[in-house]
Amino acid sequence: MSLMGTPRCTLKLGARSAVWTEGGRRGHAPISRRIELPDGLLKPSPVDLNVTDPDALIMLLQDLIGNSKHHPRPAIMVLPDLSVRTTLLTLDAVPPRPAERDALIRWRLEKEGAFPAAGAKVFSEVLGPGRVLAIMVAGKVLDQYEMVCEAAGALPVSIRTVSLDIASLLDHASSDGAVGSLSLQDGGFSLWMYHGGRPVFVRTKLLTDHAMDDLAASLRFFAQSHPEMPLQRLTLFSDEPNKEFAAASSELGLEVSQAALPDGVSTRRKIAALAPSINLSSHAHHHVNALRAALVVVSLALMSLIIWDLHDARDLSAQAGEITQAIARTQDRERQFQRQAQAEGRNLSDAALARVAGEVQFANQLIAKRAFSWTRLLTDLEESVPLRISIESISVDTRESEIALDGSAMSLRDLTAFIISLEDHPAFMGAVLVRHRVLESDAVEFGLKVRYLSGTPAPAGRRQG
């Protein structure tokens, strides 16, 4: 059964024509459109690619379907009988799991040489104890059909064959004997026998000029292998009336009637034990499964995010309430402090507070200047200056606690050693070379800045004098 429900549209592909049927809504009849296909455009085969010119067929089907390829419509795709390999198998034991059953069928058909199993798709339906209807189709054949169908604007969610749909049109009311159908369409000869609504004999081959002889031989074989179920009726389905079979009733000794397969394949009358329930689609349903699974995952993720957001919103609301209360308490205390300051005659205006900040900064600078000791600085420099370094000038910025030194070194290596010595001393940090100039004698004139931590005592071991 299709995961997308029973499609309302059907695309039937044949060797000579293609038919698009749209099932009518309640109270409306189905609408069918047919186009004739050029000879040789579609050649039914179970092993070779069927469509000789896919682009040409896609263009014809797009006009037939009248739908954009970007929005394909779910549809049943009906293929010629010759495009697949259909057989009835008798097995000693039928595996209950489809995957195991299909593997056994593949091995059985490959062993008998009935079909090249490499790359083929296998589908099966259990008809009774030890009886299985098996359908195999080459993977490349099925992929080409699905590609053409999707490119034309139809999504094949279920793929069937002409004979499988014919089964739903037969009258299986009789329980004493068998009823049969013979399809002479798309260059094929497909004979099916049913008993109690279940297929008991299947033969599909190329249609030749000796179709009547092939039918007679097939009927004799069926009568010999199934004597307990004599054939009572045979219905012929053909693209056009066949005069050769018109008089077959007396020659074959059974009732033979002719019927034209309607353009719109019936999807309402189904035989419970027969293959209309078999889904031959190689990937459309997997796409639907993946899409639905993805939608479920996305939906669950969105629900989780919504629940998480609601939880966070409650937490944020509670935090906002607490912050609002804290701000209100702070504002109350500020107003109380301002009233108290006014009562004591204190000026707490912004201008007054700015003057206080300036006065505090000025006081800090005075303190820094008073705390600064040139003797201490010179002592620290004496400990850091190597022998091959000459200091010519020293300037102090007490506000930034920064010392600017100008001097000369015997070489760049001596200048580097001086900078390292300053960094190693606990009273200096962040030495930066501002400028330097190498003289012809390799001596170097330099200027550098270094932060001076005047309150940091020098280690006792490094003091000189």
What is the mean predicted confidence (pLDDT) over 396-401? 77
**Distance set, CA 333 to CA 326, 337, 350, 357 (Å):** 11, 6, 18, 22
| Residue scoring higher pLDDT (18 or 127) | 18
Tokens linked to 278: 């078999």
Q: What pLDDT is attached to residue 454?
A: 64
Instruction: Dump strand ranges (E) for 68-168.
Output: 73-79, 85-90, 120-128, 131-138, 154-161
Instruction: Tell me the mean pLDDT in the region 32-51.
Output: 91
The pLDDT confidence band at residue 460, using thresholds 50, 70 and 90, is very low
Confidence bin at 463 (pLDDT 50/70/90): very low
- Output the pLDDT for position 270: 40
* pLDDT at residue 377, as a whole number: 82
Percentage of the chain lying above the pLDDT 70 cut:
77
Nearest 10 degrees: Cα torsion 197, 201, 206, 209: -100
Q: What is the pLDDT of residues 140-167, one digit of tens each?
A: 999 999 999 999 888 888 888 888 878 7
Residue 198: φ, ψ to 5°: -115, 140
Would the pLDDT of 408 be above 90?
Answer: yes
What is the chain's alpha carbon radius of gyration, rounded to the nearest angstrom? Answer: 48
- If you search the block for the tokens 């189905």, which residue do you land on? 30
If one compares 245 and 411, the residue with the highest pLDDT of the two is 411
The answer to whether residue 82 scores a pLDDT higher than 60 is yes
Q: Do the Cβ atoms of 167 and 276 come closer than 8 Å?
A: yes
- Does the pLDDT value for residue 287 go beyond 60? no
Pairing of strands 178-184, 231-238: parallel
Answer yes or no: pTM beyond 0.85: no
pLDDT band of 406, cuts 50, 70, 90: very high
Least confident segment among 45-49, 175-179, 336-340, 392-396 = 175-179
| Per-residue pLDDT tens over the stretch 291-304 | 666 777 788 888 87
Q: Which of 121-125, 219-223, 437-441, 443-447 has the lowest mean pLDDT?
A: 121-125
Task: Return the higher-pLDDT residue of 312 and 55.
Answer: 55
The length of the chain, given as a count of residues? 465
β-pairing verdict for 188-195 and 178-184? antiparallel
Mean of the pLDDT values across residues 416-433? 87
pLDDT of residue 409: 92
Alpha helices in 153-229 (DSSP H): 162-167, 211-225
pLDDT (tens digit, 9 = 90+) per residue, 208-228? 888 888 888 888 888 888 888
Predicted confidence at residue 230, as pLDDT, reads 86
